[in-house]
Amino acid sequence: MDSILVRGNGALAGDIPIAGAKNACLTLMPATLLSDEPLTLTNAPRLSDIRTMTELLSSLGAEVTQLQDGHVLALSSHAIDNLTAEYDIVRKMRASILVLGPMVARYGQARVSLPGGCAIGARPVDLHLRGLEALGAELELKEGYVEAKAPGGLKGAVVEFPFVSVGATENVLMAAVLAKGTSVLKNAAREPEIVDLARCLKKMGAQIEGEGSHEITVQGVQALHGATHPVVPDRIELGTYMLAPAIAGGSVECLGGRMELVSAFAERLDAAGVQVEQTERGLKVTHSNGRVKAVDVETAPFPGFPTDLQAQMMALMCTAEGTSVLDERIFENRFMHAPELTRMGARIEVSGGTATVTGVEKLKGAPVMATDLRASVSLILAGLAAQGETLVSRVYHLDRGYEDVERKLSAVGALIERVHGA
């Protein structure tokens, strides 16, 4: 099992290119199931989760071809011959549930295993199921599978989510584009990945209005056609690499970064004393004046502070001047990185969904263990600012969401390497 070895090496300088968004690409790929014409996605990230979704779609009979070293995905669902998404594939990744809506919408039936993924709380799929039922799908849970039928096709309806859910919004939106009549999704998620999906679906012929707001209106159409669509830049990878110079010092330009993707996060960095500016090439982040200031953080749905950047922000606060409070409002059980940061000398107290971090002058390298995707990269970031060596084990989590993290950080001066079999 691989590990990542990080040695604190002072200030960083240079450019880091930002890949296409994992979460957006994982949502766009199942959209191929809505049409028998080709869908081409450019700016695709090369990640293990993308390989898992490729495996899942291929098991259904879709064709997925990687072009340009994997950065272009050519998909076609003209010969789907299986409507069961098996447990052995689905268990690897929660986003697998996103094949459910498109299959029921186009084929009138589907059988999808309940998903797996990172162990960061229950993250139930009940909102996905309620939304599809509102559109007329008949659902039954049997032996760990969701069995869905819509023999007469789905029908437009008002779907009001009791709370904001990105995945449920995506699943129901894809189903609604082929439903008969008008659907209104209320309390819908506003994330950039939702907007990106809607833009792609509209290129395929869907009639959608209101994406990016809490109310999305969909006029169902009989069929969608093919399209080519670029995956939006990954705002979580962007925020992660923005934190590298904030933690280690220096100046790094994140190529392709856009302020509107990370505005709430950038505001917290500014309050901490880190300079963030939009350039023609992306976002430039600079920090060169000692320790950052402690700031409080409360995670929230977009456009608020992303839960997927909470662990990385905690790493920054570990060496901040003062005490910060991080409130996790999206997922329970998402402070599993705190004990590992404590092994490096951090002072963290966790109570329920709140973590109180009292900054120390310097962290110390130590062997630590990644517990989930974002926790793994938070430990790497902490290692950039630590004295000595930090060895992060169980980095298979990391490979699900970050492409070439060692190469990207090495290019700006970090001493980081992958240790095989450690």
Return the active site residues: 118
Annotated binding site for UDP-N-acetyl-alpha-D-glucosamine: 94, 123-127, 308, 330
**Number of alpha helices (DSSP H) and beta strands (DSSP E) in the chain:** 13, 26
Cα of first residue to Cα of last residue in the chain, in angstroms, is 6
Among 349, 326, 330, CA closest to 339: 349
- Dihedral of the CA atoms 220, 223, 225, 230 (nearest 10)? 40
Contact yes or no for 380/4 (Cβ under 8 A):
yes
Which pair of structure tokens corresponds to residue 223?
A: 């069929």
Secondary structure letter of residue 97 according to DSSP? G
Contact yes or no for 373/350 (Cβ under 8 A):
no
Q: How many other CB atoms are there within 10 angstroms of residue 161's CB atom? A: 18
C-alpha 66/C-alpha 73 separation (Å) is 5
Query: Strands, E, within 191-288: which ranges?
Result: 207-209, 215-219, 227-230, 250-255, 275-278, 282-287
C-alpha 375/C-alpha 379 separation (Å) is 6
Annotated binding site: 22-23, 94, 123-127, 308, 330
| Dihedral over Cα of 396, 397, 398, 400: its sign | positive
Secondary structure letter of residue 30 according to DSSP? G
Annotated binding site for phosphoenolpyruvate: 22-23
Among 273, 375, 261, CA closest to 21: 261
Among 403, 380, 419, 371, CA closest to 9: 380
Q: How many other CB atoms are there within 10 angstroms of residue 79's CB atom? A: 10
C-alpha 238/C-alpha 234 separation (Å) is 6
Return the H-helix or E-strand segment holding 173. Answer: helix 166-176
